[in-house]
Structure 1
Amino acid sequence: MRTAYRVETVRRAERELMARVPEGALMQRAAAGLAAACADLLGRVYGRRVVLLVGSGDNGGDALYAGARLARRGAGVTAVLLAPERTHAGGLAALRRAGGHTVAPAGAEAVVRRADLVLDGIVGIGGKGGLRPDAASLAAIVAEARAAVVAVDLPSGVDADTGEVHGSAIRADLTVTFGTHKPGLLVDPAREYAGSVRLVDIGLGGELPAEPELAALQHADVAALLPVPGGESDKYRRGVVGIAAGSARYPGAAVLAVAGALRGGAGAVRYVGPAGDAVVARFPETLVSDQGPRQAGRVQAWVVGPGAGEDAQTVAEVLAAEVPVLIDADGLRLADADAVRGRTAPTLMTPHAGEAAALLGVAREEVEGARLRSARELAARYRATVLLKGSTTLVADAGGAGVVRVNATGTAWLATAGSGDVLSGLAGSLLAAGLSALDAGSVGAYLHGLAGRFAADGAPVGAHDVAAAVAGAWRDVRR
């Protein structure tokens, strides 16, 4: 599992470790890993032109010491000092001893345009509120240059704790982060500025607490959570998921939600709604009813909302059930907030940014710019687990506290009609199979994203293709 910690936690761990190691040891470890990553990116160090963008404090010191290492290997290294009077003295001395040079910000454009690599050490993980004007000017120069860009710990201008970006920021090809990931490296919009991320171990592992701010499941974590039938299993022991979806206008939503559910680990799928003929024509194994959720028969979880149109009665009936419920799409709009908050069984809400904005009463841009805060706020306001869909999917547990799960297995090709219906069916089936709302949302998002990658393979893809690829994603994880 990949974990990310808030700046305050990282700082505390660094202080505890520094008290037991020689002075400067952590910075040298960071600089060594940073220089190695730069060398790997350059391929050949000798004769290359490297520019360091150096702010005040330890972040600039990391860049200077790494630049000194590259200079000793034959690179031509120039440091742009944004705050000469507050530049890290030891790092600057090391760079000069290695043959490096310095220039004032006024001379930055000329050296950046000739550079093979730019090392961004302007602002460290404590930076807040966006770049100051002089740094923003440098960011604009870097954006127009042809050099590869490496960020020190995280790109300057992004918020390490929240993933928010206020104003201009450095856009890196590679971010070399130290000790642990920071939330901003895993959550959009900041994640888009980080490029590839390389973690350098500086010995913080033993100092970090057990509970991080964010956690990203990996294959092994997902494999351990997948429901696997045993010798005594039958379709009912494996779980039955109910799908209350579709309408005369949107029958396809029902078909796609059922498609996801059939591949999600439950033993049977019950469908309730007006699109029964379309569902059975595509999936004859589905148990179909037109008598409403109360008369559908026993289920271990419900999915309600995809393509539901204005069917508020069905949404209300499902919310009254004493089993886990996943609410998606139209269900989010039709659900009574007090009914959601008053449920005793687990509830999983799966909005995209626009739906989340409507639920929170804010603009969509506010949700997209503050995804982590928005997911936590929704989970707290509705006392439900919230899966906020997007380029990085976030899953916040009911109440909004605790570890937020982040998933980035998807692909931009998943931004296609019906993709969310497949995800709702898939995650709902995992709920019926016995997973918690947090695990069902996290595992569902992981498999759905992976299936999207497999189905698309670099080309446009339809939601039905994604559903068909879930089995391959499941097998890949199990292997």
Structure 2
Amino acid sequence: MHVLTSTEMKEIDKKTSTDFGITEEVLMEQAAMAIVGEIQKDFNKNSHLLFMVGTGNNGGDALAAARILHNEGYENIEVCIIGDENKGSRLFKKQLNTLKQFGFLDFFEFNVDFKNHVSTADCIIDGLIGIGLNGNTNDLIKGVIDIINTFKRGKVLSVDIPSGINANTGEIMGNAILADKTITFGSVKLGHIFFPGREYSGTIKVAPLSFPKSLFNISHRELVTPEMVKKLLPKRPKFSQKYDYGNVLILAGSSEFPGASILSAIGAQKVGAGLVKLITPTPLSSYVLNHEPGIIYKSLMKDKFSLKDFDLISKELKKASVIVIGPGLGRSDETMQFVRNVVEYSRVPIVVDADALYAVDSLSLRKNIVLTPHVGEMKRIVRTDEINIRQNYEYTEKFAKHKRATIVFKDATTIITNGERTYFNITGNTALAKGGSGDLLTGIIAGLVSQGLDVMEASIVASYLSGRTAEIISDEITEYYATPLDIAKNLYKAISEVLNV
């Protein structure tokens, strides 16, 4: 599913009419029918429905829905128009006139009694602004939104996007409607998937309408879905053996951070890698064997990696299908030089995480390398305080293109991009906001690369599976209790779910 900016959606809307002959009126009627469908799922003909309507096309959608429900026998509908009707859009005026022609009379003005209408409504339909908001909400709209959020008793259904949410960033523009459900048209918008817009949108429903599918190629950004992940999951034919599923080499750990390397190794093993070899400076054999005896383990019997270790592992580098480097390494100068040598020497795919990110920021990378920073690491490796890097998909795309690598920017909404194509993963919860979850993800990515996926495909699948597993087990043991090891041991649940989509 494509993820659109407001400009892209408006262009699709326009071309659907000009190039394909499907008029704006037809699209608005279809949008209204979709709104009606969502209302009818939850509310009967006696329910009190309060339509809050702006004077743009978003308001026109809401008015058309009110007219259809009125015609269907819903008897307790009220409409409040916010703004000057005479300055409304062409379609708003047309829908208002049509609603009146159907005999609808229950309009009321925004006044001191407004909170009483809000507090008695079973469903408030938010058709105030939509995706066209450019600046902060004005004082009138702000007052309306404050009363709705404060005094609502029933549910709120937003049309296209909650009023007050920036459709391109998810930011609150002054204030915003806190919706229980949002019905959007064509495809999701960026403001639906980034916080706080994602939280304010509630449950998101997408009504496809009659937009030609080809027009959505205007966007190079997509939402990761179960269907996408199922299609990408590596196949496991019966006539195969372990060498068909690759050799993951993990260079990780130090005396200070021994556990990170184990999580990476377990992650690679649990998603099907044929062989997983873990090389650490510090002895960890008992810990590795206790968690997963199938992992091949070697210790260099020292505190940390150094440049001279490169020669000791050169044979392993040549055997590897994919390399993981970074988790728990530490950042000593000699370790950083070791990392740079591995990255420059090796030609196989490499997953670079944690401390290794600081070693490669000056290197010229290549398309089969993936960097997996969290927010703090991303801030440090881009070396800029001039912009807010969090949820900044455009800057992340530019950075990936500059580095000529794939970036997995880990956050509540994870951005996966090579600068040309971008994917957003929205699975996961606060169970992932714990040390070790990134190390696990690194191993999962590598385990999937070893089975034939490219680094972008593996990053998509790994991010989804890690996040979805966190959601599944949190329902069982809570987000507080779940650990990265719990997620690793339960990855099969998300994989099974995807296979049954």
* TM-score calculated relative to the size of structure 1: 0.90
| 1:187-238 C-alpha deviation (Å, 9 max, x unpaired) | 3332122111112232003452435342223333222222233355333332
Flag structure 2 segments of 5+ consecutive residues without an equivalent: 301-308
Following superposition of structure 1 onto structure 2, how do residues 99-110 of structure 1 map, counting pairs within 5 Å? Answer: 99-104=105-110, 108-110=114-116
CA contact (8 A) 1:385 1:396 kept: yes
Which residue of the other structure, out of 273, 288, 291, is the alignment partner of 1:279? 288
CA distance in 1, matches of 2:4, 2:433: 29
Match of 1:158 in 2: 165
Is 1:111 equivalent to 2:101 in the alignment? no
Which residue of the other structure, out of 305, 324, 333, is the alignment partner of 2:326? 305
Is 1:314 equivalent to 2:321 in the alignment? no
CA distance in 1, matches of 2:196, 2:386: 14
CA contact (8 A) 2:66 2:77 kept: no
What is the Cα deviation at residue 106 of structure 1?
Answer: 5.7
CA distance in 1, matches of 2:17, 2:218: 22
Match of 2:303 in 1: none
Is 1:440 equivalent to 2:446 in the alignment? no
CA contact (8 A) 1:217 1:407 kept: yes
Which residue of the other structure, out of 88, 91, 94, is the alignment partner of 2:95? 91
CA distance in 2, matches of 1:383, 1:107: 59
Match of 2:260 in 1: 253
CA contact (8 A) 2:16 2:212 kept: no
Is 1:329 equivalent to 2:344 in the alignment? no
Corresponding residue pairs, total: 469
What is the Cα deviation at residue 23 of structure 1?
Answer: 6.1
Question: Partner letter of residue 381 of structure 2?
Answer: L
CA contact (8 A) 1:128 1:157 kept: no
What is the Cα deviation at residue 395 of structure 1?
Answer: 0.7
CA contact (8 A) 2:417 2:456 kept: yes
CA distance in 1, matches of 2:387, 2:118: 33
Question: Partner letter of residue 329 of structure 1?
Answer: A
CA contact (8 A) 1:264 1:429 kept: yes
CA pair 395-165 structure 1, distance change in 2 beyond 3 A? farther
Is 1:266 equivalent to 2:273 in the alignment? yes
Question: Partner letter of residue 401 of structure 1?
Answer: E
CA contact (8 A) 2:427 2:468 kept: yes
What is the Cα deviation at residue 34 of structure 1?
Answer: 0.8
Following superposition of structure 1 onto structure 2, how do residues 79-228 of structure 1 map, counting pairs within 5 Å? Answer: 79-87=80-88, 88-96=92-100, 97-104=103-110, 108-145=114-151, 146-206=153-213, 208-210=215-217, 212-228=219-235
Which residue of the other structure, out of 430, 452, 475, is the alignment partner of 1:412? 430
Match of 2:305 in 1: none
CA distance in 2, matches of 1:16, 1:34: 23
Question: Partner letter of residue 360 of structure 1?
Answer: V
CA distance in 2, matches of 1:422, 1:194: 30
CA pair 179-100 structure 1, distance change in 2 beyond 3 A? farther
Match of 1:350 in 2: 372
Q: Alignment partner of 2:490: what SS?
A: helix
Q: Alignment partner of 1:420: what SS?
A: helix
CA contact (8 A) 1:243 1:302 kept: yes
Is 1:45 equivalent to 2:51 in the alignment? no
Following superposition of structure 1 onto structure 2, how do residues 362-401 of structure 1 map, counting pairs within 5 Å? Answer: 362=384, 366-368=388-390, 370-397=391-418, 400-401=419-420
Match of 2:14 in 1: 15
CA contact (8 A) 1:244 1:314 kept: no
CA distance in 2, matches of 1:444, 1:241: 15
CA contact (8 A) 1:163 1:372 kept: no
* TM-score calculated relative to the size of structure 2: 0.87
| 1:308-341 C-alpha deviation (Å, 9 max, x unpaired) | 2223233223322211111112222x223221xx
CA distance in 2, matches of 1:312, 1:318: 10
| 1:366-405 C-alpha deviation (Å, 9 max, x unpaired) | 233x3323432331332221111122222112xx233x11
Give the percent of matched residue pairs that are identical in Structure 1 and Structure 2. 29
Match of 1:294 in 2: 314
Which residue of the other structure, out of 492, 495, 500, is the alignment partner of 1:471? 492
CA pair 69-188 structure 1, distance change in 2 beyond 3 A? same
Which residue of the other structure, out of 339, 351, 359, is the alignment partner of 2:381? 359
What is the Cα deviation at residue 471 of structure 1?
Answer: 2.2
CA distance in 2, matches of 1:364, 1:449: 31
| 1:32-55 C-alpha deviation (Å, 9 max, x unpaired) | 2112212323x2232x33222222
Q: Alignment partner of 2:210: what SS?
A: coil
CA pair 69-102 structure 1, distance change in 2 beyond 3 A? farther
CA pair 206-3 structure 1, distance change in 2 beyond 3 A? closer
Q: Alignment partner of 1:220: what SS?
A: helix
CA pair 422-108 structure 1, distance change in 2 beyond 3 A? same
Superposition misfits of 4+ residues, deviation over 6 angstroms:
none
CA distance in 1, matches of 2:6, 2:337: 47
State which drifts further: 427-436 or 352-361: 352-361
Question: Partner letter of residue 230 of structure 2?
Answer: A
CA contact (8 A) 1:393 1:407 kept: yes
State which drifts further: 300-309 or 310-319: 310-319
Flag structure 1 segments of 5+ consecutive residues without an equivalent: none
Q: CA RMSD in A?
A: 2.4
What is the Cα deviation at residue 346 of structure 1?
Answer: 1.2
CA distance in 1, matches of 2:495, 2:416: 20
CA pair 40-27 structure 1, distance change in 2 beyond 3 A? same
What is the Cα deviation at residue 353 of structure 1?
Answer: 1.8
Q: Alignment partner of 1:98: what SS?
A: coil
CA distance in 2, matches of 1:478, 1:129: 44
Question: Partner letter of residue 341 of structure 2?
Answer: E
Q: Alignment partner of 2:114: what SS?
A: helix
CA contact (8 A) 1:324 1:346 kept: yes
Question: Partner letter of residue 349 of structure 1?
Answer: L
State which drifts further: 469-478 or 106-115: 106-115
